[in-house]
Structure 1
Amino acid sequence: MERQEDIRVKLEKLEALFARGATEGERAAAGAALDRLNTRLHEASQEAEVELKYSLPDAWAVRIFVALCRKHDVKPYRYPRQRRTTVTVRVQPIEFEQTVLAEFHTLHSELVAYFRDTVDHLIADAMKSDGDDKDLERPQIGR
């Protein structure tokens, strides 16, 4: 199956050929080819929906993910007895990855950076420490 971008490029070329077609036969052939490509493009965009399960690291990530799903008209759900950090969606995978997941990864990395900076600031100001754990030693058991 051809990629949608390739089909779109062919459609543009055929539309240009159809518009400047010198004879009725050329225009008819270009029109028929346009119809076939439009059908293929429509079929390619109607990829089968599958159920995808996402296990997210924390409640904040879940909230962002659910909000983005709803923003893009995707209905997230959870089966009984699933963890609170598990979210399931029924979507077309390629389209979902290009829209919702791309936006989620960007927003989640921003959230993690914000939390890291906030915690570092609180440790430095309130506790007068850097919180560095590199110099921690293992306890000596039995000595």
Structure 2
Amino acid sequence: MTDYEKLIDKLRKLEAVFSGTNYEGERTAASVAIDKIREKLKSIEAVDPPIPYKFSMNDMWSRKLFVALLRRYGLVPYRYPKQRHTTVMVRVSPRFVDETLWPEFLELGKVLQEYLTEITDKVIAQSIYADTSEAETRSEPARLESS
């Protein structure tokens, strides 16, 4: 199994955890998981109506993942004119955000970031320079006193 296939498998398993299904499998299980979460969203919205939320994402990968999650659950991401491209707006139930959307985003984001970091390190090590460690931290030089 390639690294890419392992990533997809891991993301699908996380999806099953967040949907509350026992299925671990192919597209059918993913579809069942999405349907369960959409049902949960509808039941939550009945008692906890949607409100506008503003999310700020640090990077393009997080934003793409978050927007994909929103769309998968039938939520419509948007942005107002003059808002940064790192901003994502959505009307959603606060309870759904707290119980499902945000925890799932954090877990999936963690897995995706680990994968992207690993791939980036491999590409840099193989094509540019083998040492992909962070820059060292040094203490600041002493200031010269002025007279």
RCO higher in 1 or 2 (8 Å CA, sep ≥ 6)?
2
Q: Secondary structure at the match of 1:97?
A: helix
5+ unaligned residues in a row in structure 2: which ranges? 1-42
Alignment correspondent of 1:27? none
Aligned amino acid, residue 94 of structure 2: P
> What is the root-mean-square deviation in Å for CA atoms of aligned residues?
2.7
Check the 8 A contact 2:45/2:93 in 1, yes or no: no
> Share of identical aligned residues, percent?
33
State the 1:123 CA deviation. Answer: 3.1
Alignment correspondent of 2:65? 64
Q: Alignment length, in residue pairs?
A: 101
Alignment correspondent of 2:112? 111
Check the 8 A contact 1:50/1:93 in 2, yes or no: yes
Alignment correspondent of 2:126? 125
State the 1:140 CA deviation. Answer: 9.6
State the 1:120 CA deviation. Answer: 2.1
CA distance in 2 between partners of 1:90 and 1:113 (Å): 30
Deviates more, 1:89-98 or 1:128-137: 128-137
Equivalences for residues 1-143 of structure 1 within 5 A: 45-126=46-127, 127-134=129-136
CA distance in 1 between partners of 2:79 and 2:51 (Å): 15
5+ unaligned residues in a row in structure 1: which ranges? 1-41
Check the 8 A contact 1:50/1:91 in 2, yes or no: yes
State the 1:136 CA deviation. Answer: 6.2
Which 4+ residue blocks in structure 1 deviate beyond 4 angstroms?
42-45, 135-142
CA distance in 2 between partners of 1:78 and 1:141 (Å): 46
Question: TM-score scaled to structure 2, two decimals?
Answer: 0.57
CA distance in 2 between partners of 1:43 and 1:108 (Å): 24
Check the 8 A contact 2:125/2:132 in 1, yes or no: yes
